[in-house]
Amino acid sequence: GIQVEQSPPDLILQEGANSTLRCNFSDSVNNLQWFHQNPWGQLINLFYIPSGTKQNGRLSATTVATERYSLLYISSSQTTDSGVYFCAVGVNFGNEKLTFGTGTRLTIIP
Protein backbone atom coordinates (compact mmCIF):
# COMPACT_ATOMS: atom_id res chain seq x y z
CA GLY A 1 0.00 0.00 0.00
CA ILE A 2 0.87 3.65 -0.14
CA GLN A 3 3.46 4.88 2.36
CA VAL A 4 3.19 8.24 4.11
CA GLU A 5 6.09 9.84 5.96
CA GLN A 6 5.89 13.04 7.95
CA SER A 7 8.73 15.19 9.19
CA PRO A 8 9.86 16.30 11.60
CA PRO A 9 8.30 13.93 14.15
CA ASP A 10 8.55 16.55 16.88
CA LEU A 11 8.88 20.33 16.77
CA ILE A 12 9.15 22.76 19.65
CA LEU A 13 8.88 26.46 18.88
CA GLN A 14 8.50 29.76 20.63
CA GLU A 15 5.20 31.58 20.24
CA GLY A 16 5.31 33.80 17.17
CA ALA A 17 7.64 31.58 15.18
CA ASN A 18 6.87 30.13 11.77
CA SER A 19 7.02 26.43 10.92
CA THR A 20 6.92 24.10 7.94
CA LEU A 21 5.67 20.53 8.22
CA ARG A 22 6.31 18.04 5.45
CA CYS A 23 4.43 15.01 4.16
CA ASN A 24 6.00 12.64 1.62
CA PHE A 25 4.00 9.89 -0.04
CA SER A 26 5.05 6.96 -2.16
CA ASP A 27 2.47 6.93 -4.95
CA SER A 28 0.23 9.20 -6.98
CA VAL A 29 -2.77 10.38 -5.00
CA ASN A 30 -6.14 11.93 -5.73
CA ASN A 31 -6.88 12.79 -2.13
CA LEU A 32 -4.65 14.53 0.41
CA GLN A 33 -5.82 16.07 3.63
CA TRP A 34 -4.18 17.76 6.60
CA PHE A 35 -5.61 17.37 10.10
CA HIS A 36 -4.86 18.88 13.49
CA GLN A 37 -5.42 16.88 16.67
CA ASN A 38 -5.42 19.07 19.77
CA PRO A 39 -4.01 17.91 23.11
CA TRP A 40 -7.49 16.70 24.14
CA GLY A 41 -7.77 14.38 21.15
CA GLN A 42 -10.17 16.37 18.97
CA LEU A 43 -9.28 15.94 15.31
CA ILE A 44 -10.09 18.74 12.88
CA ASN A 45 -9.72 18.83 9.13
CA LEU A 46 -7.51 21.71 8.01
CA PHE A 47 -7.19 21.30 4.26
CA TYR A 48 -8.26 19.09 1.42
CA ILE A 49 -5.40 19.63 -1.00
CA PRO A 50 -4.49 16.89 -3.50
CA SER A 51 -2.68 19.56 -5.53
CA GLY A 52 -1.98 23.27 -5.55
CA THR A 53 -1.94 25.80 -2.74
CA LYS A 54 -4.57 26.87 -0.23
CA GLN A 55 -4.57 29.37 2.59
CA ASN A 56 -6.74 29.74 5.67
CA GLY A 57 -5.67 32.52 7.98
CA ARG A 58 -2.23 31.78 9.41
CA LEU A 59 -2.19 28.33 7.85
CA SER A 60 -1.42 27.45 4.28
CA ALA A 61 -0.66 24.23 2.45
CA THR A 62 0.99 23.33 -0.81
CA THR A 63 0.96 19.96 -2.54
CA VAL A 64 3.33 19.19 -5.39
CA ALA A 65 1.66 16.04 -6.66
CA THR A 66 4.27 15.32 -9.35
CA GLU A 67 7.00 15.22 -6.69
CA ARG A 68 4.81 13.43 -4.12
CA TYR A 69 4.99 15.81 -1.21
CA SER A 70 2.89 18.32 0.64
CA LEU A 71 3.86 21.13 2.99
CA LEU A 72 1.87 22.74 5.78
CA TYR A 73 2.95 26.22 6.80
CA ILE A 74 2.03 27.76 10.12
CA SER A 75 2.88 31.42 10.58
CA SER A 76 3.01 33.44 13.80
CA SER A 77 2.45 30.33 15.91
CA GLN A 78 0.13 30.50 18.92
CA THR A 79 -0.07 28.13 21.86
CA THR A 80 -3.41 26.88 20.52
CA ASP A 81 -1.54 25.53 17.49
CA SER A 82 0.01 22.86 19.72
CA GLY A 83 -0.96 19.30 19.01
CA VAL A 84 -0.30 16.69 16.37
CA TYR A 85 -0.59 17.41 12.66
CA PHE A 86 -1.49 14.50 10.41
CA CYS A 87 -1.29 14.13 6.69
CA ALA A 88 -3.62 11.57 5.08
CA VAL A 89 -3.56 10.44 1.47
CA GLY A 90 -5.66 8.29 -0.78
CA VAL A 91 -5.41 6.93 -4.29
CA ASN A 92 -9.17 7.34 -4.65
CA PHE A 93 -10.94 10.68 -4.61
CA GLY A 94 -13.09 9.69 -1.65
CA ASN A 95 -12.37 8.98 1.99
CA GLU A 96 -12.73 5.19 1.96
CA LYS A 97 -9.06 4.29 1.86
CA LEU A 98 -7.19 7.15 3.44
CA THR A 99 -3.74 6.29 4.79
CA PHE A 100 -2.51 8.47 7.62
CA GLY A 101 1.05 9.43 8.46
CA THR A 102 2.44 9.14 11.97
CA GLY A 103 2.15 12.87 12.49
CA THR A 104 4.26 15.82 13.59
CA ARG A 105 3.88 16.78 17.25
CA LEU A 106 4.08 20.56 17.51
CA THR A 107 4.59 22.26 20.86
CA ILE A 108 4.37 26.04 21.05
CA ILE A 109 5.98 27.57 24.11
CA PRO A 110 4.64 30.91 25.40
Cα(82)–Cα(89) distance, rounded to whole angstroms? 22
CB of 99 to other proteins, least distance (A): 8
CB of 94 to other proteins, least distance (A): 3
Of residues 17 and 107, the one with the C-beta less far from other proteins = 107
Cα(95)–Cα(65) distance, rounded to whole angstroms? 18
Of residues 2 and 17, the one with the C-beta less far from other proteins = 2
Question: Under the rule (CB under 8 A), what is the footprint of other proteins?
Answer: 4, 30, 33, 40-45, 48, 86, 88, 92-103
CB of 70 to other proteins, least distance (A): 15
